[in-house]
Chain A
Amino acid sequence: MLNPILRREVQTSLRTWKIFGAISAYVGVIVFFTIVFIKTAIDGSMYSGFDPQSVIYLYALLSGLQLGFILITAPALTAGSISGERERQTLDLLVITRMSPFSIIFGKLLSSIGLILLMIVAAMPVYAVLFYFGGVSIFYLFGMTMFMLVTACMVGSMGLLFSTIYKRTMISMVIVCLIIGILVVGTLVGYLLYVNIYLHGYKQMNNYISLPAIYGFFFLNPGAGFFSVIDAQLGTNLFDGITMTNWYGKGLKLPVDMWIVNMVSDILLSALFLKLASLKINARN
């Protein structure tokens, strides 16, 4: 049987123009950046027309936009899901049903992820441009979508947890956004400070930097995971470049790709967040 909360949320959200407006706006932004990119690539090309080599950068750009969108949308959808029920005075009626606290929380997460998936699917025709020029496999797109959905689950379940802790939606949303900011920017800044202050600059870092430091700073950074996926798919060195681990081309070689560490951490953390959130809404706790 379909999760009752998922069914209700899909039923009610698709009845308003809000969701269609949001999808249209999102696809519009993606289309806008694609057109600007192709125009710039054509104008800047040494050859007449579009350089097919640019396709991989267009793929990275579109995927990056999508990740940014997910990092904003997933917590926005989930951070108010339980506090919203509380504010609307419907939470008590929900927790006294036969649904377990976990299925209530999971239904909420599924409905948020479902909306995100809908938006990703809506943007697929734009990705078709990539296949027209070639150079990007459909499996790359599938892999990237999986990475994004796992990231959305982690960020979304974090939003859900804070939504159960704080009674006001606004507070939980602000806190989740702050945490995501720390995960994306804060860990990068922390790492760069560590390199500059603790290791006294990049010149010596290849001698001193340790794997635990790299994994420790970036295991939850969605940006690090994203660049690692791009590196794995397209053979670039974006993650190494950002972390300076390959400064002289002879730096550290990560034994396990960062995107794998990232996805495993996200899955484990999502499970923890969901468990804690379901304990929190259990009325008898």
Chain B
Amino acid sequence: MLEVNNLVKSYGKVMAVNDLSFKIEKGSIFGFVGPNGAGKTTTMKIMAGLLRATKGNITIDGEDITKNSALLREKIGYMPDFFGVYDNLKVSEYMDFYASAYYIPLSERKELIDNLLGIVNLTEKKDIYVDSLSRGMKQKLCLARSLIHDPEILILDEPASGLDPRARVEMKEALKHLSHMGKTIIISSHILPELAEICTEIGIIDNGVMRAKGSVLQIMRMLSKKRIISISPLSGMEALLNLLKERPNISNIIENEDNVEISFDGEDSEVANLLTEIVKAEIPVLAFKEKAGDLEEIFMQITGGEKKDA
């Protein structure tokens, strides 16, 4: 488990990170969301060992990595938001250089590099010069580089920024694959919906302060008293509508062609009770799910902005 404890980073009177504390469970994908200048990159750079915190510490399984740089370098893989590559170096040589910089034995390197290039779909590009790769491919190469020493925790600062939709999908696939491999992934973005679908947990940071933390649904519930539930009956739409209208904690029933959307005011147990009632009423239910709602609106609400309709 990674724990950030009372982290402070100040530049003179400017507080880039202000008493930030949170925990990230092993194997989870943690989305670090916040507007530009919120303190995401500063926090990630402290985690990666590139900046010294003014106060506070970061522990991995109880060990303080801010005081143990060898442990930090071993446990953490980092991909910055902006990075460059070396000229006149091929993809496989680029990987080999970083493998040697992590003192990985020569005998292990070839297989390791082939595996990592396979994970990010760059096997066919191994003999291409890195400076001739597209931005998306460079991002994937940098992701492979960050894995070269098999770190437990991956810190990825805006890995999808500037990528086309196809490259974004490929990046998400690669991250899901890494998550299945048991890596803890901390990923930042200033676009909440971008992270919502792959992250197990999200932290929203603004002005160096953690404004909200939890799963997307938990954050939504924190901000919105009512949850939006979509129910798709196989038949018996009329009976379903009648049942829903009788419930006191349901408002704003919207009937669509094949489903009903309701605003529900209640805890998890009450949602479960509602489903039980529908089933007891012998209405065949095809789907019953809580909707994520408008994530952009939530993000703007938390970070103190206003959503502007396009």
Residue of B69, B74, B89, B101 with most chain A CB atoms under a 10 A cut-off: B101
Chain A's nearest CB lies how many Å from the CB of B204? 25
Does A211 sit within 8 A of B, measured CB to CB? no
Q: Let me know if A90 and B84 touch, CB within 8 A.
A: yes
A99 and B101 CA atoms in complex are apart in Å by 6
A96 touching B48, Cβ below 8 Å: yes
A88 and B84: CB pair below 8 A? Answer: yes
Task: Kindly identify which residue among A7, A12, A15, A96 contacts B49, using a CB–CB cutoff of 8 Å.
Answer: A96
A1 lies within 8 A of B103 (CB):
yes
**Could you say which residues of chain A place their CB within 8 Å of the CB of B73?**
96-98
Query: Which label, helix, strand, loop or mixed, suits the secondary structure of the A interface?
Result: loop
Residue ID in chain A nearest B67 by CB atoms: A284
Residues of chain A in range 64-113 having any CB-CB distance to chain B below 8 Å:
88-90, 92-99
Name the A residues within 8 Å of B50 (CB-CB).
92, 95-96, 283
Tell me, yes or no, whether A39 is within 8 Å of chain B by CB: no
Chain B hits for A92, CB < 8 A? 48, 50, 78, 80, 83
Q: Which residues of B contact A11 (CB under 8 A)?
A: 88-89, 93
Verify A93–B98 contact, CB threshold 8 A.
yes
Question: In the complex, A4→B89 CA distance in Å?
Answer: 14
Q: Which residue of B51, B88, B100, B145 is within 8 Å of A93 (Cβ)?
A: B145
* C-alpha gap A92/B83 in the complex (Å): 8
Q: Does B52 contact A (CB under 8 A)?
A: yes
* Nearest chain A residue, comparing its CB with the CB of B148: A97
| In the complex, per-residue mask of B93-119: 1 if CB is within 8 Å of any chain A CB, else 0 | 100011011110000000000000000
Instruction: Assess the B89–A8 pair: CB atoms within 8 A.
Output: yes
Proximity bits, A10-22, B CB within 8 Å = 1, else 0? 0110011000000
Structural contact, A98 and B101, CB atoms closer than 8 A: yes
Residues in A whose Cβ lies below 8 Å from that of B84? 88-90
Provide the bound-state CA to CA distance between A191 and B142, in Å: 55
- Is A207 in contact with chain B by the CB < 8 A criterion? no
When distances are taken between beta carbons in the complex, the residues of chain B under 8 Å from A96 are 48-50, 73, 76, 78
Interface magnitude class on chain B = 20 to 34
- Which of B83, B85, B88, B100 is in CB contact (< 8 Å) with A16? B88
Q: How would residues 230 to 247 of chain B score, 1 for a CB under 8 Å from any chain A CB and 0 otherwise? A: 000000000000000000
Contact A97 B102 (CB under 8 A): yes
Interface range, A side: 20 to 34
Decide if B100 touches A284 in the complex (CB within 8 Å).
no
Tell me the minimal C-beta distance from B99 to chain A in angstroms. Answer: 9
- Nearest CB of chain B from residue A75's CB, rounded to whole Å: 22
The 0/1 profile, CB within 8 Å of A marked 1, for residues 52-71 of chain B is: 10000000000000000110
CB distance from A90 to the nearest CB of B (A): 5
- A12 engages B101 (CB within 8 Å): no
Interface readout for A234-272 with B: 1 if CB under 8 Å, 0 if not? 000000000000000000000000000000000000000
Q: Is B9 an interface residue (CB 8 A)?
A: no
Q: How far apart are A238's CB and chain B's nearest CB, in angstroms?
A: 44
Taking a contact as CB atoms under 8 Å apart, the answer to whether A98 and B88 are in contact is: no
Complex contact A283–B100 (CB within 8 A): no
On whether the beta carbons of B97 and A8 are closer than 8 Å, the reply is yes
Neighbouring A residues of B51 by C-beta, 8 Å: 283-284
Q: Which residues of A have CB within 8 Å of B97?
A: 4, 7-8
Whether the Cβ atoms of B89 and A90 lie closer than 8 Å is: no
B306 to chain A, nearest CB (A): 34
Q: Does B87 contact A (CB under 8 A)?
A: yes
Q: How far is the CA of A93 from the CA of B70 in the complex (A)?
A: 15
Q: Shortest distance in angstroms between A200's beta carbon and chain B's nearest beta carbon?
A: 54
Bound-state CA distance A283–B70 (Å) is 13
Interface status of B86 (Cβ within 8 A of chain A): yes
Give A99 to B85 CA distance when docked, in angstroms. Answer: 18
Is A48's beta carbon under 8 Å from chain B?
Answer: no
| Chain B residues engaging chain A, CB cutoff 8 angstroms | 48-52, 69-70, 73-74, 76, 78, 80, 82-89, 93, 97-98, 100-103, 142, 145, 149
A-B interface, 7 closest residue pairs, ranked by CB to CB distance from nearest: A97-B101, A89-B84, A4-B100, A88-B84, A12-B88, A15-B88, A283-B50
**25 A-B contact pairs sorted by A residue (CB < 8 Å):** A1-B103, A4-B97, A7-B100, A8-B86, A8-B89, A8-B97, A11-B93, A12-B86, A15-B88, A89-B83, A90-B85, A92-B50, A92-B78, A92-B80, A93-B80, A93-B142, A94-B101, A96-B73, A96-B76, A96-B78, A98-B74, A98-B102, A98-B149, A283-B49, A284-B52
